[in-house]
Amino acid sequence: MLRVSLISLLALGVVAQEPAKTTAKAPAKTAAKTKAGAKAAPAPAADKSPVLARVGGEVITEEDFQAAFRLLGQQEQMQLLMFQGGKEEFVKRMAESKLLSVKAKRLGLDKTPSYVRGLDRAKDDLLAREFLTKEGEGLQKRLVVAEADVKAYYDKHPERFKQPELVSLRHILVSVKQGEGQPGLTDEEAKAKIAKVQGELKGGAKFEDLAKTYSDDPGSKDNGGLYADGDPAKWVSEFGAAARSQALGEVGAPVKTQFGYHLIKVESRKPSRQMPFEEAKQGAERMAQQERQAIVWNELMDGLRKEIPFELMKPEPKAAPAKAPAATPKAAPESAKTPEGAQGGAN
């Protein structure tokens, strides 16, 4: 059975916030004198959480670290725990954040409207997490996806588990410059280089060796020009068409694409097929879990919206800019309305 982190359900993007600290103040005076011989009540125990850092008179304690740690995503928590010195580095970052915070307070930046708005938003996010934590056990039970659910998802969406036609090929790209003034070969220079490569192939040179020497494709050059089990539908159209149609094991005529000229040698083709469940199971699990997350989240939101007024305002359509009135042509002077007037104006 699959379980998913509850926090991953909430896409809030919360930045780790340190909880507000409250310091208990000692009473100024005892409310009533103790009776003779009576022992005074023991004072409340001071916070014994170990201090991890001091910044500007403020402290960061182990409890502060644990609170910030709990706000991290599951993957980030694992990385921090597995990385040697991870906790120390995290505490250092907390202390540096505190250092910036202390300086900002001294500059009065905690009074700015943008800070107040951001603080309100952070409070909303933290309270949302508190609510999800409170409801966590029930939500987690609803998020569980059993193998039968995965199989049902696979059967319901067969089109998502159809493997397309796959082609393995090698190619040599001779690129051309992409515009006037850009570096690279001209079209004629690229054709001449392709002809040189073709000549070496006819002389017995190996295609993969020539790819390492001449190809301008960084993605395949060092691998002898190889692209294994690629989907031709995802390649540029001219390249994909050649991958589908060229004879196996033969180097075809140069193919021109937006990148330049290609020599292509198709090594194998696999027809499209329906993947059996066992082969598709891992992907089906992931998709079924994502679908379950969406269902649980939407059900949670629908229930809350029935309890709490909720409205998203639609932005008002922008008014079309008013068209300027067409300019009224000025009347031509009387002298311009007659040939005589025009002639008179010329003198």
Of 64, 53, 68, 73, nearest to 11 (Cα)?
73
The answer to whether 144 and 1 are in contact (CB under 8 A) is yes
**2 in a structural domain:** no
Q: Are residues 108 and 255 in the same domain?
A: no
Q: Are residues 100 and 53 in the same domain?
A: yes
Structure tokens belonging to residue 299: 């059900």
pLDDT, one tens digit per residue, over 90-99 is 999 999 999 9
In the chain, % of residues over pLDDT 90: 66
pLDDT band at 23 (very low <50, low <70, confident <90, very high): very low
Residue range of the domain that includes 218: 165-271
Q: Are residues 260 and 297 in the same domain?
A: no
pLDDT at 324: 61
**28 in a structural domain:** no
- Domain end (from 271, 298, 329): 271
The answer to whether 332 and 345 are in contact (CB under 8 A) is no
pLDDT at 75: 87
pLDDT at 317: 80
CA distance 347 to 334: 16
pLDDT band at 322 (very low <50, low <70, confident <90, very high): low
**341 in a structural domain:** no
Q: Are residues 257 and 191 in the same domain?
A: yes
Q: Are residues 103 and 76 in the same domain?
A: yes
The answer to whether 169 and 245 are in contact (CB under 8 A) is no
**CATH classification at residue 257:** 3.10.50.40
pLDDT, one tens digit per residue, over 167-196 is 999 999 999 998 777 788 999 999 999 999
Number of compact structural domains in the chain = 3
